[in-house]
Structure 1
Amino acid sequence: MSEIQGLFETMAGRFNSDAAAGLEAVFQYKLDEGDAYYVAISGGECALDKGLHDNPSVVLMMDSETFKEVLEGETNGMQAFMAGRIRAEGDVMLATRLEALFPAG
Structure 2
Amino acid sequence: MSDTITEAVTALNAKMDGGFDGTAKFDIEGEGAIIIDENGARAGDDDADVTLSASAETFKAILDGEENPTAAFMTGKLSVDGDMGMAMKLAGVLG
2:19 is equivalent to residue 29 of structure 1 = no
2:69 is equivalent to residue 77 of structure 1 = yes
The answer for unaligned runs of 5 or more in structure 1 is: none
User: Is the helix fraction higher in 1 or 2?
Assistant: 2
In the TM superposition, residue 97 of structure 1 has moved relative to its aligned partner by 2.0
User: What is the identity percentage for the equivalent residue pairs of Structure 1 and Structure 2?
Assistant: 22
Match for residue 87 of structure 2 among 83, 92, 95: 95
Aligned position for 1:48:
41
Rounded Cα–Cα distance in structure 1 between residues aligned with 2:94 and 2:54: 17
Aligned position for 2:3:
2
The answer for unaligned runs of 5 or more in structure 2 is: none
Q: TM-score, normalised by structure 1?
A: 0.78
RMSD over aligned Cα, in angstroms?
A: 1.8
